Every structure is written in structure tokens, then in C-alpha cells.
Amino acid sequence: MTATRHRPGARPGTLGGGAARRNGQVGHEPSPWEKRCHALAVVLDSHEIISAEEKRRCSESLGNEMIARLSYYEHWILALAIVLFEKRILAPSELAWKMDEIAERWPGGGSGG
């Protein structure tokens, strides 16, 4: 068996792109927001609104530095938002409004609930 060569410009975790970074999900019980993020991705895919390929493309478009800073589900949700913006299904201002509304209900950030 031969070793996989690194391809210049390959994204982390892609075939031939070198070692994938650990995303903190091994042995990790997803938090409520992570479960909702996963469910949203499944629903958007099953209703053919966002394909896995579109999510992958937008996730990779974030670049290595951004991907390295974000958790697994953080970069998933960002990729989903980008596709929804591209398709004009959701506007950035609508997302910002909803985030502000949630922040008012969850002064501590609401990341767990």
C-alpha cells in the first residue's frame, strides 16, 4: 500500500489533502443546538433545498484558517447559511434579526439550549 501524497491547495480532511483535524466529536454527545443543526441539514437535504455537495462546497470555501477555528457543527451551520443566502431563501438581515431575538431570550448565549 502506498502513502497518500499531499495535494497543494487541498482542504483539510479531503482525500489526499493530508491529515484531517480532530473536530472534537469523538465520544461527544451532541449538544441541543448541534442536534438541531444536524436535523436542519437532513431536512434541507431531504427536501432537496440544499444538497450534500452544496454544503461541502460552501464548507470548503470557508478556507483552511476558518475551518480550523470553527467546531464541526459551527462550520456546518455556516455552510448551510451561505447556501441559503446564495439561493435567496434567507437574507443575512433575516438571520441577524433572528439571532438578536434569540439573544434577548438567552442572555447567556443560549448555546446549550
Q: What is the pLDDT of residue 2?
A: 42
Find out if CATH 1.10.3720.10 is the number for domain 32-105.
no
| Cα(20)–Cα(97) distance, integer angstroms | 35
Buried b (16+ CB within 10 A) or exposed e, 41-53: beebbeeeebeee
| Cα(106)–Cα(72) distance, integer angstroms | 23
Q: What does pTM read for this prediction? A: 0.69
Where are the chain's structural domains?
32-105
Q: How confident is the model at residue 41 (pLDDT cuts 50, 70, 90)?
A: very high
Q: What is the pLDDT of residue 3?
A: 42
| Cα(62)–Cα(74) distance, integer angstroms | 11
| Cα(90)–Cα(26) distance, integer angstroms | 32
